[in-house]
Each structure stands twice: as structure tokens, then as C-alpha cells.
Amino acid sequence: MKAWQLKGFGLDNLVLGEAETPRPKAGELLVKVGAVSLNFRDKAIVEGFYEPHLVPRDLIPVSDAAGTVAAVGEGVTRFRIGDRVNSHLYSRWLDGAPGPDEPAYCLGSPLPGGLAEYMVVHEQGAVRAPDSMSDEEASTLPIAALTAWYSLVDFGQLEAGQSVLVQGTGGVSVFAVQIAHAMGARVIATSSRDENLQAVMKLGASAGINYRKTPNWENEVLAITEGKGVDLTLDVAGGEGINQSIAATKAAGRIAQIGFLSGQTTQLNLMPLIFRQTTLRGIAVAPRSSFDRMNPFLDEHRIRPVIDHVYSFEQAREAFDHLSRGPFGKVVIRV
């Protein structure tokens, strides 16, 4: 099969060639990949700053795929040839609390990903793709939509009428705007670009703050929420900004620590965290059960993934470059 493989760190070492078509073992599905979408994680893996010690040589990168079951291994019961499925990043985390070694079974590193004509997923680690979506659309769900969903619903316990802060207008945040709006919540969004703020307002955000023009954006969030702060913050920026997220979140509020766009380390100011009694929770996507619950909600609320651009298979490197420039929503590669 045709496959992109990582021969060393750096985009120049992502090479298109031939690889052996995998064979599904017992319980596994061979999926003919229709499309993949890129996440910041994929870029960080290719560039060598995401758990580089776990990245195997000749890795087929990119975790998030949608496609059609082409063959099944022995004993498969959940899917049949011809079914449309999504991959699920944490391939063994099915429900409840995560096990201690979930990252060892992630697709797109260390397990092979979907930037190839075929990929193998275990039937337990696959999810039925929404009927209402094309492969291009469905490929955007496994990390970006599911992380937003899990943070808002499973962790955040967000209710209609409550407020949520989302940062930037990348993959996770745009889904968070759409899902939170559909739940009846009030969404405050930030972006470095005024035109993106206009665009997220059209998707349901009720207020927007340009974090470049307003570096102390937490004060603006407090002003919008009558001095209280939001009920829930989805922090995708990380770095020193976590202290601002604590200030922008209400007393006894929750912060989903999702990302590290501006840094993987931080100096955390403990006194505001203690006095505001904030719950700060690391998020690592979600179990498959959460994915199973999300897809009917997306169908019911007619939520269409926001795709910035669809690239051809041969243009995979251009797609990664686009991600580095900061897309509005998702970057997709048709396979």
C-alpha cells in the first residue's frame, strides 16, 4: 500500500512510499482509510517534541481516521465488511477511568496511524462513523471533537445557562464552541484574529476577546461574567497562561487542562488556585464510551465539523504546514 512514513524527526523526513499492507489479526479490522485529520499532536510527533522516546522508526503517523472496513480478523462481532468506522486514539481505553499505560496503545505513535491506504484497528477501539458525515467530516472527530465533548460533558458537567471559556480557534476549540452552544451554554472565545472571532460568533459564541490586543484577557472574562468568572474553562494554551485561566474561572469552578500550545511547563501560582478552590484536571481525550455518546448528539444537533481545508494524499506535507500556520477548525487529508 502507499503510506507516509516518518524516517526521522522533522517534516522533511516524512516520506511517501510503499509499505506492507497490514493483515488483521483476531479481533482486528482492516480499514480502507477514506480521510484523516491532523491534530497538534501529530505535528508535535513529527517534529519530535511529543514523547519522542516512544516514536518508532518508520512510523505511519496521524491518529484520526475515518474509513470503511475492508476485512475482518477472526472472531470479530462488532463490525462487518463495508461498515464505516472511526479510529479512536486511546485504542484500549473503552470506559471508566484510564488504565496506567493507555499512552502505550495510542494510534499515530507508538501504534501505526492512518496516513496510508489501510490501517488496522481493534474492533473494540473503533466507533461507528456518523451516517450524516462524509469520511472527511468524520475524520475530524476522534481527538478534536471528542476532547471538547469529554471536557464539556463528562468532566465539565456543563449545564444550559452556564458559561464556558474556550481559547483560540483551532480544532478542539471550534468544536467546543459548537457543542457548548448546542447545550445551551454561554460561550466566551478568544483568538489572535478578529476575523476568527467573528466566525466563532456565527457558530454560537456570545463574546470574543482578542488575546493579542488584550493580553490580560482574564480581566475581560471577569467583566463579561459580572466579576464571577466562567463556570468552566477549556485551556488549550497551557504555559504561563494557566494562572490567567484560574483568574478567569469562578470560585470552585473547573479547568480542563487540555493543551500546551504556548508551553509544556509553567510556574503555577498556588495561592489563587487555593483561594478560588479551582478544580484543575488534566484531560487526555476520552474513553470510547464517550465517543459512542457524542456521535448521536452531533447528529441530533446537526453539528457539521468546520474544515479549513481538505488536502490530497500527496499533499500531506502541505497539510502539516497549514496546521503550523494556525487553521480555523480542522485540516483534513483525503486518502
Ligand X SMILES: NC(=O)c1ccc[n+]([C@@H]2O[C@H](COP(=O)([O-])OP(=O)(O)OC[C@H]3O[C@@H](n4cnc5c(N)ncnc54)[C@H](OP(=O)(O)O)[C@@H]3O)[C@@H](O)[C@H]2O)c1
Which residues form the interface with ligand X (CB under 6 A)? 39-41, 143-144, 147, 167-173, 190-193, 196, 211, 236-237, 258-262, 283-285, 323, 326-327
| Shorter beta-carbon distance to ligand X: residue 260 or 313 | 260
What is residue 314's DSSP assignment? G
Question: Minimum Å distance from CB 98 to ligand X?
Answer: 11
Give yes or no for a contact between 16 and 316, defined as CB atoms under 8 angstroms apart.
Answer: yes
| Cα–Cα distance, 334 to 57 (Å, whole number) | 24
Q: What is the three-state SS of 249-286?
A: EEEEEEEEECCCCCCCCCCCCHHHHHHHCCEEEECCCC
Task: Name the minimum Å distance from CB 204 to ligand X.
Answer: 16
| Cα dihedral sign, 266-321-37-108 | negative
φ/ψ of 191, rounded to 5, equals: -160, 160
Least Å distance between CB 80 and ligand X? Answer: 30
Distance of CA 190 to the CA centre of its chain: 18
Do residues 298 and 130 lie in contact, with contact meaning Cβ atoms separated by under 8 Å?
A: yes
Q: Would you give the end-to-end CA distance of the chain in angstroms? A: 12
Q: Which residue is nearest to ligand X (CB)?
A: 170
Minimum distance from residue 127 beta carbon to ligand X (Å): 16
Q: How far is the CB of 332 from ligand X (least distance, A)?
A: 12
Q: Of 151 and 162, which has the nearer Cβ to ligand X?
A: 151
The least CB distance from residue 178 to ligand X, in Å, is: 13
C-alpha cell at 143: 481527538
CA–centroid distance for 234 within its chain: 12
Q: Are strands 230-235 and 307-311 parallel, antiparallel or unpaired?
A: unpaired
Q: Which is nearer to ligand X, 98 or 326 (CB)?
A: 326
Q: Which is nearer to ligand X, 164 or 323 (CB)?
A: 323
Residue pair 209/188 in contact by the 8 Å Cβ criterion: yes
> What is the nearest approach in angstroms of ligand X to the Cβ of residue 1?
27
Check residue 5 and report its DSSP letter.
E
Which C-beta is closer to ligand X: that of 2 or that of 322? 322
206, three cell numbers:
456570545
- Nearest residue (CB) to ligand X, 34 versus 259: 259
Phi and psi torsions of 170, nearest 5°: -85, -165
Please identify, using beta-carbon distances, which residue of 22 and 208 lies nearer to ligand X.
Answer: 208
